[in-house]
Structure 1
Amino acid sequence: MIIGEYRVITKEDRARQKAIYAAHVAKLADAEARQLVAEHFRRRMEIFEKYDLYRDTFPTGLDGGSPDENRELREEAKRFNEACKPYFERIKGKK
Structure 2
Amino acid sequence: MAAPVGLTYNGYLNLEMGAQKISMKIMPKKKCPACGATDTIKILYDEPTYESCEAAERGEIALGGCLISEVSPKRYCKACGEDFG
TM-score tier, shorter chain, comes to under 0.3
Using structure 1 for the length normalisation, give the TM-score. 0.23
Using structure 2 for the length normalisation, give the TM-score. 0.25
Normalized per residue, the structure richer in helix is 1
Structure having greater relative contact order (Cα 8 Å, sep ≥ 6): 1
